[in-house]
Structure 1
Amino acid sequence: MWKIKQIFDGDYGCEELQPGQKPKVSVTLMDDAGNEKLVSVEDELLMENGLDIGSEWPLKV
């Protein structure tokens, strides 16, 4: 099972989103064995699913 260890919003301020593009965040996941994986997802996904640090990751890694 993967859990969210850290969320980085990646908003650099000077880079604008292209039309139709949604803001993304980088999410560091950690499994029970201490392995880490970095994924990039739309911020909207986290909000819609109520995901935050410590939450179980619902998607396939």
Structure 2
Amino acid sequence: MWRIKQIFDGDYGCEELQLGQKPKVSVTLVDDAGNEKFVSVEDEWLTENGLDVGSEWPKEEM
């Protein structure tokens, strides 16, 4: 099982988004053995799915 270890918002307004593009965040996932994986997803998607640090990562998004 993968859990969200950290969410990093690297967008500080330095670069403008393209038309229709949504802000993304980098997410660090960790499994029970301590292995880490990094993914980039839309911030809005995390919010819509109620995901935050400590949340279990949805299997279908692997």
TM-score of the pair, normalised by structure 2: 0.92
> Are 2:42 and 1:42 aligned?
yes
Which aligned runs of 4 or more in structure 1 are off by greater than 2 angstroms?
A: none
Paired with 2:50 and 2:28, the residues of 1 have a C-alpha distance of: 16
Between structures 1 and 2, the one with greater helix share: 2
How many residues matched?
61
Deviation sequence 1:14-43 (CA, Å, 0-9, x none): 100000000000000000000000000000
Quick one: percent identity of the two aligned structures? 84
2:44 maps to a residue whose letter is E
Structure 2 equivalent of residue 31 of structure 1: 31
Residue ranges of structure 1 left out of the alignment (5+ in a row) = none
Task: Give the superposed CA RMSD.
Answer: 0.9
Question: Structure 1: how far apart are the matches of 2:42 and 2:34?
Answer: 25
CA positional deviation for 1:60 = 3.5
